[in-house]
Amino acid sequence: MSMHTSIATVCLSGTLEEKLRAAARAGFDGVEIFEQDLVVSPDSPEAIADLARELGISLDLYQPFRDLEGVDKAQFQKNLTRAETKFRLMARLGIDTILLCSNVGTATMTDDGVVVEQLRRLGDLADSYGVNIAYEALAWGRFVSEYDHAWDLVKAADHPRIGTCLDSFHILSRNTDLSRIAEIPGEKIFFLQLADAPALTMDVLSWSRHHRVFPGEGAWDLSDFLTRIAATGYAGPVSLEVFNDSFRQGDTNRTAVDGLRSLRWLEASIADTIAAPTGSASAAEPAGPSTALDLQPLPEVEEPRGINYVELSTDDLGALTRQMHQLGFQFIGFHRSKPHVQLWLRGEARIIVSEVTDGVGTGADAGGTSSTSADEAGTTSAPVNGTFLRGIGFEVTDSRSAMERAALLHADEVPRDQAHNDEVLRGVFAPDGSEVFFHQFEKATPAWIQEFGHDHDEQVSHIDHVNLAQPSNHYDEAVLFYTSLLALHAEPSQDVPSPSGLVRSQVMSSTDGSVRMPLNVSPQPHAEAVAGRGIGSVVEAYPEHVAVACEDIFHAAATALSRGLDFLPVPQNYYEDLDSRFDLAPEFLQQLQENHILYDRDEHGQFLHFYTSTIGSVFFEMIERRGDYRGFGAPDAPVRLAAQHRKNAQLSAQNAQMSGQQG
Amino acid sequence: MSMHTSIATVCLSGTLEEKLRAAARAGFDGVEIFEQDLVVSPDSPEAIADLARELGISLDLYQPFRDLEGVDKAQFQKNLTRAETKFRLMARLGIDTILLCSNVGTATMTDDGVVVEQLRRLGDLADSYGVNIAYEALAWGRFVSEYDHAWDLVKAADHPRIGTCLDSFHILSRNTDLSRIAEIPGEKIFFLQLADAPALTMDVLSWSRHHRVFPGEGAWDLSDFLTRIAATGYAGPVSLEVFNDSFRQGDTNRTAVDGLRSLRWLEASIADTIAAPTGSASAAEPAGPSTALDLQPLPEVEEPRGINYVELSTDDLGALTRQMHQLGFQFIGFHRSKPHVQLWLRGEARIIVSEVTDGVGTGADAGGTSSTSADEAGTTSAPVNGTFLRGIGFEVTDSRSAMERAALLHADEVPRDQAHNDEVLRGVFAPDGSEVFFHQFEKATPAWIQEFGHDHDEQVSHIDHVNLAQPSNHYDEAVLFYTSLLALHAEPSQDVPSPSGLVRSQVMSSTDGSVRMPLNVSPQPHAEAVAGRGIGSVVEAYPEHVAVACEDIFHAAATALSRGLDFLPVPQNYYEDLDSRFDLAPEFLQQLQENHILYDRDEHGQFLHFYTSTIGSVFFEMIERRGDYRGFGAPDAPVRLAAQHRKNAQLSAQNAQMSGQQG
């Protein structure tokens, strides 16, 4: 047993039947029926109740009932009649609790006494139908907009059928003091709804109706919130009510899994700090808060220690490995049992290159390659052509525990061939279709390197960060994925201008910066359609890159130049602007320009870097951090994006010309 | 000569070169160079100046310069040095005016005296470079955030090189009293920037950076604003500065045309109310405000009197005309010179049906069919298969003038074959690719009806409204298009829930309601890609419909039923909910349900309607308005959308099964 998880049907896309099936398939225990979903459904209430029974999920709440209280007698009588029709409907559905929202539209009486009396009368009516009323303060309620006001009214009504509903959005969006939650006895909380939200400054109604996200995908501390609820003794459903424009149009099964993951993660995040009810707890344990919620932990995961390797898939092996050679990577060897997989090293920066020819997958490598890739629904499809970032190996303190946790968080495992004497590696698909592998952290060179017949490279170099392209409709899901599976943190997002629109960039990182992944949402509309790797996917619209840290960027650039690297060009105007922004010595500026190196500075240090041209949907960045510079050269990103845009335009023009000559 | 139009390069997508070419091609007189666009450009300042000269456009402003004033002496000295590098750069560009934004980040001194002195010193430096400083209060400036404060500072500085820049966004977003604009002498306004914006309640910085739109596309009264500026004697550029996420990623030529249209429309809207300078005005004219802006009017257009006809294109003639027959439309005849074009009437509701077979266009009809259709770039392409709404004929008081106006507003004319004795009809493409034709309003039956050999129909019926699907990335453009070409008004938009996401619906209408067009933006991501009609276009994702008003909906439904109409099904749950919402007589409710009729009511009247199934991307709605009901049955739209969703899902399943059986 675990806590009873539930989700409002309004969170999901599709028909009511599709929503119920998706919730059940994802593993929810129940759903809230949103009235509108029922009204537009061709299925009778009885048929919906039967379907829920068949699917093994409960119908936990009927919602919403609006604009009941704080009205004059004549209107109240009409409202009671309206309520009665809902109670009859609920009986047909087999639902015993209804959400009553504080009056937004029709309330004319500010007197709490009137409201208390009307709640009591509603309670009497509800009692005759066996219905419980969960009264909730909407953040934009006319006279009742704070949870503690609603609780005061419920307390004063003192009716067994009248309780309160607490919704994290309505409470946290108003920044209300949470301390009075502790005053509410758990049994008077008739329902609990959770939503997270990004920190936006806008009217609370629009914020609520369009921008809610699942716990862990926004800016709020839902762990603290749920801890406070748990401490009241609340034992009912923990339900998601998230109005989100993207979720409403997304794949319903996928959204449901995303939602359940958020609850499992949240549950586990507080399971260790809250003891079970004293009856079942050991007497030796300290007397922390106890709870009637049966909170289940997950296998622990610590922040990753680093990026063990990046795997690139390519159908243009010559071009890719030539570029890596130019960057100072050394060819180490082919995998002993996977003939199309090779390893390249530059110090501790490890790149696995797996060749794909004509759409035929060529076997998994030691670093985790599968012969499949995730499509939109998380199922598998055939290998794809192109050069793209296939996956990342993360160094974790306990790889077995990380994989168990990932599975319990409903991540799809990457199918993988494994030779009997290779290191056992397991991984899952990220929301963008890339593969995430869990490597046991070792201080020495990783064991799997031996599978390539490696002798050690002496260069001081490592993977500094990996930039991933994200489909915009799975962006929130990605944040929760990396937070819940890998304990990474989301930094505030930034908008970066490009010639084709604003790129939203959000860094996910570990506290010490040993893992850094900027997630980029491209503005290209067609990039929304497909999550996944390779041709036709989101990475086509926005190339991804691996940033390699080195000790001496000028030396790296000189080597690259001597080996004929195709640097991404940096305009003269950039260097002139740099000169006006920073007081750089003329020789240094010239040295930067001669080496195609871009420059940034903050109060902690300096950042020097250059980019390569793009092969398929991948390019490299070579960087040198001086001092304690924390960023990624964000002021330089528009320069890169513009240069890549020009390059693409040139290629398009050349292709058009060539096909014209052929035609 | 007309007023000098300009546009900031930040409004447009692409490289700086592409932006300049797009601005020139659309017909702008000049541009503002946004610094970032120059920094990322491979072209030198001299090359940009040469390009502008070659294109025949002026470089009107360099922008922005930030965080100069209100700082201590040491910092100010550094800021002057920074300014000097910009002045040198401007000399290379040949630009003589720079935008100085009020300090946002570094100001520490609240004393206006310090700012005045620093402006004066900047003015002295600027003078040695022949540069003018246009000082602008940003709405989020640290100490200077109001236009009149900025003007007080400029006035006190009293320096020939220091003037102010007025930006409608920064002024109207703060809701500042506009009366003090009249105090500013026109020659001290060094620059004028215009932007409109939707009425949003959010932090002003996000509002400004993401949601600005061109004049006529938002909620503000830019005519009043420009009138006030014109009255000061301002004679400089009227420039658009619009940060908009969609424009930044849209087709740059198309956005430029949209922008110029907004300025031409705005100019014309005030041209009649503001006299030319007294020197050139006739002595007999009343002494209204005069202006140094040479404001050019456009041919007048009044609101349309009605929808003359709707044209549907089809490759499924039998299914479409059968449905029209079921709805009580009468076949009138084939066009005398266009053999594949026929006319159907129901009272004054006129539907032209043009058959397209296997992608071969079949000649234009009297109502305005061309043999081409607009693609994304506004150019023409081959005819397309499918059943779709091809165009609308609007009744206007002066069709010649309306067409001239449309041409001056840069709308693309629909190419059209014209038989020598047919009525001369001209039209243009709307942003969604549909055709807009201008018909001379006549009280009697339109003359072109004779071309089909018509005898008059006695039914009382007309086209009540037409619902169009809009690609979301051309939504603002569509609002301006219908506003500026047809004098329609935008009503506040609504979000309608559907199983695949929220549909944004905005009604464009004439004041008396004789023309009503809800524009709907579908949530389907792929619907963003293509504007246009037929297969692969936005209308695939969201069907469009023609709503026909009748006198007796029950009679119409009975006729339709007896003729075998495939009604869109309405669920039982809907009628039960209707019963709880409205106190309807049981017999009436039953009558509604038996006839598949939906019902709505407001304080003005009642709305009864039913829908047909969809053919291609078109369906019909039959409606009866009782009393003075103004709406469109918005509460019923989710019912329709859900039913259409289910129908599509059934069809997909059937198709999958059929292809499975065949395979």
Q: What is the DSSP string of B1-34?
A: ----EEEEGGGS-S-HHHHHHHHHHHT-SEEEEE
Q: Cβ of B576 and A248 within 8 Å?
A: no
The model's pLDDT over A285-344, given as tens digits with 9 standing for 90+, comes to 444 455 678 888 999 989 999 999 999 999 999 999 999 999 999 999 999 888 899 999
Distance from CA of B70 to the nearest CA of A (A): 19
Select from B201, B499, B646 the Cβ nearest to the Cβ of A203.
B201
State both tokens at A561.
Answer: 């130049």
Q: What is the amino acid identity at position B496? A: V
Q: How confident is the model at residue A394 (pLDDT cuts 50, 70, 90)?
A: very high
Distance from CA of A42 to the nearest CA of B (A): 5
> Per residue in B390-421, is it b (16+ CB within 10 Å) or e — as a string?
bbbbbbbebbebbbbbbebbbbbebebeeeee
Residue of B nearest to A42 (CA): B571
Phi, psi of B196 (to 5 degrees): -105, 170
Q: Is A545 annotated as a binding residue?
A: yes
> Per residue in A255-280, is it b (16+ CB within 10 Å) or e — as a string?
bbbbbbbbbbbbbbbbbeebbbeeee
3-state secondary structure of A175: coil
Q: Cβ of B45 and A574 within 8 Å?
A: no
DSSP label of B473: G
Chain-centre distance for alpha carbon B235: 28
CA gap B516, B499 in Å, rounded = 26
Mean pLDDT on A530-556: 78
Q: Cβ of A13 and B574 within 8 Å?
A: no
Write out chain A residues lying below 8 Å of B17, CB-based: none
Q: Look-up: residue for tokens 């409004």? A: B11
Name the residue with higher pLDDT: B274 or A144. A144
CA gap B11, B243 in Å, rounded = 6
DSSP label of B338: -
Q: How confident is the model at residue A661 (pLDDT cuts 50, 70, 90)?
A: low
Q: Look-up: residue for tokens 């049966």? A: A294
Distance from CA of B204 to the nearest CA of A (A): 9
* Test the B interface: residue of A81, A472, A573 with most B CBs within 10 Å: A573
Mean pLDDT on B375-388: 55
Residue of A nearest to B575 (CA): A39
The model's pLDDT over B51-76, given as tens digits with 9 standing for 90+, comes to 999 999 999 999 999 999 999 999 99
> By the 8 A CB rule, do A258 and A216 touch?
no
Q: What percent of chain A has pLDDT over 70?
A: 88
Query: What integer pLDDT is reported at residue A357 of this predicted model?
Result: 78
pTM (2 d.p.) = 0.89
> By the 8 A CB rule, do A532 and A540 touch?
no
Q: Cβ of A646 and B526 within 8 Å?
A: no
Helices (H), A313-393: 317-326
CA gap A363, A451 in Å, rounded = 15
Side-chain half-sphere CA neighbours of A29 within 13 A: 14
Query: What integer pLDDT is reported at residue A535 of this predicted model?
Result: 53
Q: Look-up: residue for tokens 């009986």? A: A91
Contacts 24+ apart (CB under 8 A), A643-652: A643/A568, A643/A569, A643/A570, A643/A571, A643/A611, A643/B40, A643/B42, A644/A543, A644/A568, A644/A614, A645/A498, A645/A499, A645/A500, A645/B14, A645/B15, A646/B15, A646/B42, A647/A568, A647/A613, A647/A614, A649/B15
3-state secondary structure of A323: helix
Select from A39, A42, A525 the Cβ nearest to the Cβ of B529.
A525
Radius of gyration of chain A (CA): 28
Residue of A nearest to B572 (CA): A42
* Binding-site residue set of B for a divalent metal cation: 136, 167, 193, 241
Mean pLDDT on B317-322: 96
Mean pLDDT on A564-569: 96
Select from B13, B201, B572 the Cβ nearest to the Cβ of A44.
B572
Q: Look-up: residue for tokens 């399943």? A: B653
Query: What integer pLDDT is reported at residue B661 of this predicted model?
Result: 63
The model's pLDDT over A398-420, given as tens digits with 9 standing for 90+, comes to 999 999 999 999 999 998 776 66
Query: What integer pLDDT is reported at residue A447 of this predicted model?
Result: 76
Select from B82, B249, B574 the Cβ nearest to the Cβ of A501.
B249
- Strands B380-381 vs A494-498: parallel, antiparallel or unpaired: unpaired
State which H helix or E strand residue B46 sits in: helix B45-55
For residue B385, pLDDT over 80 is answered with no
CA gap B67, B135 in Å, rounded = 11
CA gap A421, A438 in Å, rounded = 18
> By the 8 A CB rule, do A186 and A234 touch?
yes
Can you say whether residue A445 is alpha, beta or left, with left for phi > 0 and alpha for psi between -120 and 50 degrees?
Answer: beta
Write out chain B residues lying below 8 Å of A15, CB-based: 499, 642, 645-646, 649
CA gap B289, B273 in Å, rounded = 8
Select from A206, A571, A576 the Cβ nearest to the Cβ of B42.
A571
* Test the B interface: residue of A18, A39, A538 with most B CBs within 10 Å: A39
> By the 8 A CB rule, do B427 and B435 touch?
yes
- Strands A58-65 vs A97-101: parallel, antiparallel or unpaired: parallel
> By the 8 A CB rule, do A245 and A222 touch?
no
Select from B39, B573, B649 the Cβ nearest to the Cβ of A41.
B573
Distance from CA of A524 to the nearest CA of B (A): 7
Q: What is the amino acid identity at position A158? A: D
In B174-271, DSSP assigns E strands to 189-194, 238-240
Number of Cβ within 10 Å of residue A244's Cβ equals: 23
Distance from CA of B292 to the nearest CA of A (A): 36
> By the 8 A CB rule, do B559 and B323 touch?
no
> By the 8 A CB rule, do B147 and B137 touch?
yes
Query: What integer pLDDT is reported at residue A449 of this predicted model?
Result: 77
CA gap A182, B531 in Å, rounded = 56
Mean pLDDT on A587-594: 97
The model's pLDDT over A420-431, given as tens digits with 9 standing for 90+, comes to 667 778 999 999
Among residues A160, A19, A33, the alpha carbon closest in space to that of A94 is found at A33
Chains A–B, number of C-beta pairs less than 8 Å apart: 155
CA gap B574, A599 in Å, rounded = 63
Helix, strand, coil abundance in chain A, percent, nearest 5: 35, 25, 40
Write out chain B residues lying below 8 Å of A528, CB-based: 525
Q: How confident is the model at residue A584 (pLDDT cuts 50, 70, 90)?
A: very high
Q: How confident is the model at residue A524 (pLDDT cuts 50, 70, 90)?
A: low
> By the 8 A CB rule, do B41 and A573 touch?
yes
Q: Cβ of B245 and A203 within 8 Å?
A: no
Please give the torsion angle defined by the CA atoms of residues B65, B70, B71 and B72, in that order, rounded to the nearest 10 degrees. Answer: 140
Write out chain B residues lying below 8 Å of A580, CB-based: 82, 85-86
Among residues B240, B189, B236, B203, the alpha carbon closest in space to that of B218 is found at B240
State both tokens at B117.
Answer: 């002195």
For residue B607, pLDDT over 80 is answered with yes
Residue of B nearest to A574 (CA): B39
Distance from CA of B10 to the nearest CA of A (A): 10
Average predicted confidence (pLDDT) for chain A: 89
Q: Cβ of A14 and B499 within 8 Å?
A: yes
Select from A201, A248, A501 the Cβ nearest to the Cβ of B501.
A248
Select from B203, B502, B646 the Cβ nearest to the Cβ of A15.
B646
Q: How confident is the model at residue A279 (pLDDT cuts 50, 70, 90)?
A: very low
DSSP codes, A472-496: GGGHHHHHHHHHHHH--EEPPPEEE
State which H helix or E strand residue B270 sits in: helix B252-271
> By the 8 A CB rule, do A298 and A265 touch?
yes
For residue B173, pLDDT over 60 is answered with yes
Q: Look-up: residue for tokens 């009235």? A: A35
Write out chain A residues lying below 8 Å of B35, CB-based: 577
Residue of B nearest to A81 (CA): B580
Spans of all domains in chain B: 5-271, 306-649
DSSP label of B183: G
State which H helix or E strand residue A640 sits in: helix A637-662
What is the CATH number that goes with domain A5-271? 3.20.20.150
Phi, psi of A247 (to 5 degrees): -60, -40
Side-chain half-sphere CA neighbours of A188 within 13 A: 20
CA gap B12, B18 in Å, rounded = 9
The model's pLDDT over B542-586, given as tens digits with 9 standing for 90+, comes to 789 999 999 999 999 999 999 999 999 999 999 999 998 998 999
Write out chain A residues lying below 8 Å of B572, CB-based: 42, 44
Q: Cβ of B497 and A44 within 8 Å?
A: no
Distance from CA of B82 to the nearest CA of A (A): 6
Can you say whether residue B571 is alpha, beta or left, with left for phi > 0 and alpha for psi between -120 and 50 degrees?
Answer: beta
For residue A225, pLDDT over 50 is answered with yes
Select from A14, A202, A638 the Cβ nearest to the Cβ of B40.
A638
DSSP codes, A4-71: -EEEEGGGS-S-HHHHHHHHHHHT-SEEEEEHHHHHT-SS-HHHHHHHHHHHT-EEEEEEEE-S-SS-
State both tokens at A427.
Answer: 């991984």
Q: A306-649 belongs to which homologous superfamily?
A: 2,3-Dihydroxybiphenyl 1,2-Dioxygenase, domain 1 (3.10.180.10)
Q: Cβ of A39 and B86 within 8 Å?
A: no
Q: How confident is the model at residue B454 (pLDDT cuts 50, 70, 90)?
A: low
* Test the A interface: residue of B498, B573, B577 with most A CBs within 10 Å: B573
Measured distance between the N- and C-terminal CA atoms of chain B, rounded to whole angstroms = 67
Q: Cβ of B528 and A525 within 8 Å?
A: yes
* Test the B interface: residue of A13, A21, A38, A40 with most B CBs within 10 Å: A40
Q: Enumerate the β-bridge partners of residue B519.
A: B468, B506
DSSP codes, B514-526: SSEEEEEE---GG
- Strands A501-509 vs A489-490: parallel, antiparallel or unpaired: antiparallel
